[in-house]
Structure 1
Amino acid sequence: MNEQEEHINQFLTSSTYHQLSANQQKHAQDILVRFTQQMKNEQHLADTAWTPQAVKEVMVGDFIADPALTNQFGIAVAPVLKAYQKFLGVDQLKAITQAIDDQRANMNACRKAHQTWSQLHGEQQPNTVKTSTSSKRSVPAKQTWNTEKLAALIARVKGDMPAAAEFQHQALSLGEQQYVAVEFLNLMHQEFNEYPGEWTFADLQRVLGMMMPLDPDITPKQIRNIVPTAQAVFDYLKRTGVITMDQYKVGMKAIANMQNSEEMLASLSRKERETQLMLSFINSNGINTDDVQAAEAWMDDHRDEVAAFMRTLLNPWRDYEHQQLVKRQAEARRRAQLTAPNSDGITHHRAPQGIKFSKKARKKRHRK
């Protein structure tokens, strides 16, 4: 992993990233990977060395001309780039931020036309076909998904698994692989509204590396094999044409360095996994979690961010979490009753009053 990839990964788990809107977070990874790559190819600049002029040129270049880019992607570009440069703490932050704002309207025009700025103004590059309605190169239509189509795909994956080469010679049984694969596909849609072909790097990491290890029903063996099972799913979907090579590369990148953390999480109890993931989040914000006082001080100052992060991870298991909370509250009440003053462990509602005889019984005793 190169330095820019490390920077992007750190940004995607930072407090700066979590301050972005849902749409900006959804597109952040794709924006940054595309933009930093174009900046490197066209301007030969690392992400910590951008200049205002270079930013303006890349914003209206090949970075934005892809016909597959949506309006939501375009809307997210400027705030994501500004947040990323702020996160890196670059020297020319103010000037770069201004350059991004100045170029935003031109970038949007390029995106709508699916052309670079030079192409849009007639400065055609060699071997480029002049744009007209009849001469535009046809672009494959983006696959349209819905919940029914996703359910059909999941059923197909499960049905093909016994014979598909990708799922042979795995450490997990067929049933265990099916559980992991189905949970992955469902969570990507359920939690982030992303179908195959729309998965982002950050959301893949959150689901595969964080949410799934917190599943109350997953086994340690399955956690250790999330990565190989996910790779098999990616391989299968690429072979069968469900996802493109670009989406496949994003998937491979997301799981590239995940195995060690999965091994570690599998060795812990579920509660310990929650704690470890929270510590990882704190650490990703530049805090040394070995320094207990520093970590606690940071948590005191960022309670909302930590809570929001954990709520996101635990959201799929909220029913289970509620059941556990009810159990803990009941246990706390029981302990409070047992340790109440002068109870000595007795939980009677009132002290025994001794034996009482009825009036008729007392008369009988007196006659005797």
Structure 2
Amino acid sequence: MAEAEDKDEEDGAAGLRKIIHVDMDAFFASVEQRDNPELRGKPVAVGGSGGRGVVAAASYEARKFGVRSAMPSVTAKRLCPDLIFVRHRFDAYKEASRQIRRIFEHHTPHVEPLSLDEAFLDVTEDRLGIGSATRIAELIRQEIRAKTKLTASAGVSYNKFLAKIASDQNKPDGICVIRPGQGADFVAGLPVRRFHGVGPKAEEKMKRLGIETGADLAAKDIDFLRSNFGSFADYLYRAARGIDLRPVRAHRVRKSVGGERTFSEDISSGAALRDTLENTIEYVWDSIERSKARGRTVTLKVKFTDFQNMTRSKSTSDWIESKSEFAEISRALLEEALPLPMPIRLMGLTLSNLDQGEDAKTEAPKDGQLSLL
């Protein structure tokens, strides 16, 4: 494993970028524990505790018992009888997110938010002239702790894929650096489950094909991967070699604004789907508000356990400008789709058919656990 050091080698090779991925530690639950001292050190789940409830986030104390986001609340309570449920407070999470975003922008204008609690930063040229991406990542983590009383983990590398993997390596409250020349070897030793987008079902399929590590994946040619994983194959082929050419996009012309969430466990019941949709509406509408987007089309997307996608859309004659209208259309789309033919591993919402008369340069789309499209 590459260790964190305050050196400049991570930017040594000509033409390589310096990318940081910052990921807050158990963000929603940590905000609740910060604001309510009685919750500190205890297993906490953000979400509904009733039979229809779903865990939106879990503290690290709860995760020790196997409690995960998108898990039905009854399952979570069975795993951890002392689990404390609290209702979400999105205003508090958004305010903390705004504070963190200001810290990022103190160091670089090149910030690509992935959700309220994580972002990519390109610090190839940083505002303060520090030069070392590792040092900048450490300073950012220190500033976040000082100003928000929350902890963050960071990954530092020369592309987005590696930086994101690195940020999860030493969680919570840790940092990991993958330097030029180390990427392929680092990925080779990882279980395939660590690759973004590889959920339980994909992992199971890969194991049946003899693929358990990054090295196993790299040993398969592109034709084999395409025949078994379709459009997902190109990403897997590059990732297994530590390759990612995507830039950090702070601004771009949007064609849509939205978000999607990949679940740690597949979801099948209507109650769990409805509760998850409500959480997705909250996340996505926050992005819509921040981007000042206006659109006429709402699209619901789900990805089934067999990786097939299903979308449902509805367009209106007038601009959709209120959260209540966006939520009403989103709920109607889900109800029209129920019952689903099989469990799903991902749900997303987008607002499209945007008003091109507005300034379309907005925050870049998010991707990841809850990613903006």
TM-score by length of structure 2 reads: 0.26
More strand by share: 2
Give the TM-score normalised by the residue count of structure 1: 0.27
Greater per-residue helix proportion: 1
Q: Of the two, which has the highest radius of gyration?
A: 1
